[in-house]
Chains A and B, each alone.
Chain A
Amino acid sequence: DADVTQTPRNRITKTGKRIMLECSQTKGHDRMYWYRQDPGLGLRLIYYSFDVKDINKGEISDGYSVSRQAQAKFSLSLESAIPNQTALYFCATSDLKGLQETQYFGPGTRLLVL
């Protein structure tokens, strides 16, 4: 079984709709992240959480919100989806050893906003 899972894997929605992307992990990591990937831009950080109830904004948080109510789950919401939120979304967890951190990614959710 995968250590980091994301649901749904693909989603098509309409402008103005609210949608939620779910992420679950079995790695027991405290840190979790949401990224989006756009062509030519790599991965950009949306939100991150270092523990349950801890929420921090990343580089591009506008238009998004998150919820971390359990160590294993971190959900991303688009309150009112817009077409430029069409992207590939990745959840990640991380293992911090000393000052060095390695992130483990889920398989991604492909979102299309019409």
Chain B
Amino acid sequence: DQQVKQNSPSLSVQEGRISILNCDYTNSMFDYFLWYKKYPAEGPTFLISISSIKDKNEDGRFTVFLNKSAKHLSLHIVPSQPGDSAVYFCAASGQNYGQNFVFGPGTRLSVLP
């Protein structure tokens, strides 16, 4: 059973609009969450992270929100740009995993010009 879920395999958004990517997790011991972005033929690259002591972290156009009670996090991209088109992976880690990461299956975002 997947401990980190991204239930939308794909998402299409118009350029300039907001993109919202969602991630749910089942293990309450996770205390650190990250988003990675992956272009074709490249490895994933780190985008933004959030610790469980926070409920929001912002970096430029990217904001991650964490709702611990719902075991849910989301990545907001505002405004979306065509260069944001990629696969986005959510990842979680916690002390019980020796800080190893558990990755979700990914969401493919397409930003339409």
Question: Is the pair A108, B105 in contact by a Cβ cutoff of 8 Å?
Answer: no
Tally of contact residues, B, Cβ under 8 A:
26
Q: Does A64 contact B (CB under 8 A)?
A: no
Tally of contact residues, A, Cβ under 8 A:
25
Given the known inter-chain contacts A58-B100, A99-B99, please indicate yes or no for A42 contacting B89, CB distance below 8 A: yes
Q: Chain B residues near A99 (CB, 8 Å)?
A: 32, 95, 99
Q: Does B101 contact A (CB under 8 A)?
A: yes
Question: Is the pair B43, A4 in contact by a Cβ cutoff of 8 Å?
Answer: yes
Q: Does B70 contact A (CB under 8 A)?
A: no
Q: Which of A4, A43, A108 contacts B103 (CB 8 A)?
A: A43
Question: Is the pair B32, A90 in contact by a Cβ cutoff of 8 Å?
Answer: no
Residue from A56, A90, A102, A107 whose CB has the most chain B CB atoms within 10 Å:
A102
Q: Say how far A99's CB is from chain B's closest CB, in angstroms.
A: 7
Instruction: Give 17 pairs: A residue, B residue, CB < 8 Å, sorted on A.
Output: A42-B4, A42-B89, A42-B105, A43-B101, A58-B100, A90-B43, A99-B99, A100-B51, A101-B93, A103-B46, A104-B45, A105-B36, A105-B45, A106-B43, A108-B41, A108-B42, A108-B43
